[in-house]
């Protein structure tokens, strides 16, 4: 299987918890390409100021320097590497939302707060951010809802977001237990309820690589290829 489109990865160095340098980043890109990904979005963290990886001039400079070098090299193999961000909800504001769009699309990747943050109002702050994105004429893509405690407790709580047209983007490793049993159970529950629009790798390192093929096989087995394929090939992405 080729043709995967992966909207969520940390393969371009930006001083977050993804690739530490261009050499490692290109090795991760190569892994993505060799496992079937044709379009790969680099989405460094844009965390809240109180968290681990907020944007900074230094991080922006590292990212801006590495990306074109890596794009040029990846293109020689046939991998389309694109610019993006994974944005924490409270970072999004009307004045900055455009700069966070995934390159060549009208989508903005918003990070669903994970269980490690243990927020009571995670879904509410995601909704607030998504409304800002929507008001700017862009489309919210909500990353790894299955890793959010509130969603795990009640997967149906995100149905209203889906009905509004927003896209839920599950992490590929979640379907295979890579983020623990709770995320695994929640990812399948969301998928079976037809609430998932996209699957992405959220690849960070060689130990957590940007691969989609194993999750694709698992989703094919459970839901059939006709249902699985659009989720892994970006059929819901709002291309410009
Ligand atoms: Fe991520």
Residue 9 CA to ligand 1 center (angstroms) comes to 6
Residue 44 CA to ligand 1 center (angstroms) comes to 7
User: Does the pLDDT at position 1 exceed 90?
Assistant: no
What is the number of domains present in the chain? 1
Q: What does the pLDDT read at residue 15?
A: 98
Residue 87 CA to ligand 1 center (angstroms) comes to 9
Determine, yes or no, domain membership for 36.
yes
Residue 155 CA to ligand 1 center (angstroms) comes to 20
User: pLDDT-derived band of residue 120, with 50, 70 and 90 as boundaries?
Assistant: confident
Residue 230 CA to ligand 1 center (angstroms) comes to 21
CATH number, position 103: 3.20.20.140
Residue 84 CA to ligand 1 center (angstroms) comes to 11
CB 11 within 8 A of CB 28: yes
Residue 210 CA to ligand 1 center (angstroms) comes to 11
Determine, yes or no, domain membership for 214.
yes
Interval 30-58: pLDDT, tens: 999 999 999 999 999 999 999 999 999 99
Interval 161-186: pLDDT, tens: 999 999 999 999 999 999 999 999 99
Residue 7 CA to ligand 1 center (angstroms) comes to 10
Q: What does the pLDDT read at residue 66?
A: 98
Determine, yes or no, domain membership for 238.
no
- Residues around ion ligand 1, judged by CB within 5 A, are 86, 202
| Contacting residues for 71 by C-beta, under 8 A, at least 6 apart | 81, 82
Element (H, E) at 59: helix 57-77
| Contacting residues for 124 by C-beta, under 8 A, at least 6 apart | none
CB 183 within 8 A of CB 152: yes
Residue 10 CA to ligand 1 center (angstroms) comes to 6
User: Does the pLDDT at position 117 exceed 90?
Assistant: no
Residue 224 CA to ligand 1 center (angstroms) comes to 27
Determine, yes or no, domain membership for 240.
no
Residue 32 CA to ligand 1 center (angstroms) comes to 15
Determine, yes or no, domain membership for 213.
yes
For the beta carbon of residue 127, count every other beta carbon within 10 angstroms.
Answer: 19
Burial of 166 from C-beta contacts in 10 A (0-12 / 13-18 / 19+): buried
User: pLDDT-derived band of residue 219, with 50, 70 and 90 as boundaries?
Assistant: very high
Q: What stretches of the chain show up as alpha helix (H) in DSSP?
A: 22-34, 57-77, 122-135, 149-153, 159-163, 181-192, 213-223, 225-232
Strand 4-6 to 37-42 pairing: parallel
Residue 223 CA to ligand 1 center (angstroms) comes to 25
Residue 16 CA to ligand 1 center (angstroms) comes to 10
- The residue among 164, 173, 178, 157 whose CA lies nearest residue 135 is 164
Spatial distance between the Cα atoms of 196 and 163, rounded to a whole number of angstroms: 12
Spatial distance between the Cα atoms of 166 and 164, rounded to a whole number of angstroms: 6
Element (H, E) at 141: strand 139-143
Determine, yes or no, domain membership for 237.
no
**Residue numbers of the domain that contains 56:** 4-232
Strand 86-87 to 139-143 pairing: unpaired
Residue 45 CA to ligand 1 center (angstroms) comes to 7
Residue 85 CA to ligand 1 center (angstroms) comes to 9
Spatial distance between the Cα atoms of 230 and 198, rounded to a whole number of angstroms: 8
- The residue among 165, 194, 39, 50 whose CA lies nearest residue 113 is 50
């Amino acid at each position: 299987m080729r043709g995967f489109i992966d909207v969520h990865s940390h393969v371009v160095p930006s001083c977050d918890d993804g690739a530490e340098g261009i050499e490692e980043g290109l090795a991760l890109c190569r892994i993505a390409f060799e496992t079937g990904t044709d379009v790969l979005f680099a989405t460094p963290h844009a965390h809240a100021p109180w968290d681990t990886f907020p944007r900074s001039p230094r991080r922006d400079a590292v990212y801006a320097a590495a990306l074109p070098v890596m794009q040029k090299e990846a293109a020689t193999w046939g991998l389309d590497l694109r610019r993006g961000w994974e944005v924490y909800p409270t970072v999004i504001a009307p004045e900055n939302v455009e700069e966070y769009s995934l390159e060549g699309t009208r989508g903005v990747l918003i990070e669903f707060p994970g269980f490690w943050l243990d927020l009571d109002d995670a879904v509410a702050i995601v909704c607030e951010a998504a409304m800002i994105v929507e008001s700017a004429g862009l489309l919210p893509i909500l990353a790894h809802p299955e890793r959010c405690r509130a969603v795990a407790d009640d997967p149906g709580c995100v149905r209203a977001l889906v009905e509004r047209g927003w896209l839920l983007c599950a992490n590929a490793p979640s379907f295979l237990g890579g983020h623990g049993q709770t995320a695994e159970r929640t990812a399948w529950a969301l998928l079976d309820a037809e609430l998932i629009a996209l699957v992405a790798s959220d690849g960070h390192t060689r130990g957590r690589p940007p691969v989609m093929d194993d999750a694709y096989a698992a989703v094919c087995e459970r839901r059939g290829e006709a249902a699985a394929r659009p989720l892994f090939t970006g059929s819901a992405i709002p291309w410009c």
